Homo-oligomer: A and B are copies of this chain.
């Protein structure tokens, strides 16, 4: 819990937590509980369960390639339904409450439709309603841009709305989800994984970037920038979750905090007869033009004047990558069914030898890797899918996770 940090709290509930009227009522009960501790409560909610998918499928029946502005117009109704229903639920429990859409809550966005960014929040209206004693329910994922169009924030949008509101109001932010918090390893991969009580922003960001699905990197970054204390917990709020703040002094006891896995990786190998920097550069320009995100890149000379360029991307880019590389007359192959396993720890930067110890473990267990990359606080290996569960268990035991 974060009750001692701030004068108010932003509570965020995602789509599965508000999937039907019964669940909305349960969320309302949690908010009533929290209201006993906090004078100021802002709640951010997503669209109910399958609402967004239903709206998308209706739109597909009408137009295979709808304008993004109109998609925002359509999808933003989802959260508007949730905020009004949640406000009704709270009112029926005797609370003073008011719901606000993104534009009513003063959430100003910029950038493209369906992936807008929050530029600023005009917090006057929210603060006035809070002062009058209201619980304020805000539609997540949405805002209004400079021409008065409704916009949505794209992936992880509601988390971002919640963190941005907390930053602006100087509140802490509680993200309620369907998991109990952040774990040392995904419990589906390693059943003995432990829930972490505390994490630093940096570690959380690295984990979010490297595959932990609990929270989007974007909202962690924002929380870090504005030093918003974050709390990630189960939506029933009956187990203690994970607190994210500061640089994580508590973490230095462990050299490794977390193992994250991203699956559905496509490894692309390109053979070049000469080391032509311009040509190599051009490959990545072409890929970038088609919005193909590249992750790990490596380059090796494997015999006289034979160069191997390798990079990873997500598997759904297979067709477009193939088209681009064929058009450039390149000699390439794909390695599929690989995952990226990342070992993350804030202490990595102060403790030498972590990387070499991992190499040793992999080698001792006959686990081959296709690629490796390192950051200040993480090492990532691209390995075959069939090795993932094995290596995660070995590393989790090695580092006592």
The verdict on A77 contacting chain B, using a C-beta distance below 8 Å, is yes
- Output the least CB separation between A125 and chain B (Å): 7
Shortest Cβ distance from A148 into B: residue = B104
CA–CA, A285 and B61, complex, Å: 54
Interface set, chain A 40-63, CB cutoff 8 A to B: 55, 58-59, 61-63
Contact B67 A73 (CB under 8 A): no
For residue A83, which residues in chain B have a CB less than 8 angstroms away from its CB?
Answer: 73
Contact A21 B62 (CB under 8 A): yes
Contact A66 B80 (CB under 8 A): no
- Output the least CB separation between A128 and chain B (Å): 10
Contact B70 A84 (CB under 8 A): yes
The verdict on A324 contacting chain B, using a C-beta distance below 8 Å, is no
The verdict on A85 contacting chain B, using a C-beta distance below 8 Å, is yes
The verdict on A361 contacting chain B, using a C-beta distance below 8 Å, is no
Query: What 1/0 flags go to A59-99 for Cβ under 8 Å of B?
Result: 10111101101110110110011011101110110000011
- Output the least CB separation between A63 and chain B (Å): 4
With A58-B21, A62-B24, A91-B63 given, is the CB distance from A99 to B81 under 8 Å? no
The verdict on A136 contacting chain B, using a C-beta distance below 8 Å, is no
Contact B80 A63 (CB under 8 A): no
Contact B62 A25 (CB under 8 A): yes
Contact A99 B70 (CB under 8 A): yes
Q: Is the interface of A mostly helix, strand, loop or mixed?
A: helix
The verdict on A257 contacting chain B, using a C-beta distance below 8 Å, is no
- Output the least CB separation between A106 and chain B (Å): 10
The verdict on A101 contacting chain B, using a C-beta distance below 8 Å, is yes
For residue A125, which residues in chain B have a CB less than 8 angstroms away from its CB?
Answer: 148
The verdict on A341 contacting chain B, using a C-beta distance below 8 Å, is no
- Output the least CB separation between A101 and chain B (Å): 7
The verdict on A344 contacting chain B, using a C-beta distance below 8 Å, is no
Contact A92 B148 (CB under 8 A): no
CA–CA, A76 and B125, complex, Å: 21
For residue A25, which residues in chain B have a CB less than 8 angstroms away from its CB?
Answer: 62
Partner of A84, one of B74, B80, B91, B92: B74
For residue A69, which residues in chain B have a CB less than 8 angstroms away from its CB?
Answer: 98
Instruction: Give 19 CB contacts A-B under 8 Å.
Output: A21-B61, A21-B62, A24-B62, A25-B62, A55-B81, A59-B84, A62-B85, A64-B92, A66-B91, A66-B92, A67-B87, A67-B91, A70-B84, A70-B99, A73-B80, A73-B83, A73-B84, A74-B80, A76-B80
**Closest A-B pairs by Cβ, 6 of them:** A74-B84, A63-B88, A77-B77, A73-B84, A21-B61, A63-B92
- Other A-B contacts than A22-B61, A73-B87, 11 sampled, CB-CB below 8 A, are A59-B84, A63-B89, A63-B92, A64-B92, A66-B91, A70-B87, A73-B80, A73-B99, A74-B88, A76-B80, A103-B103
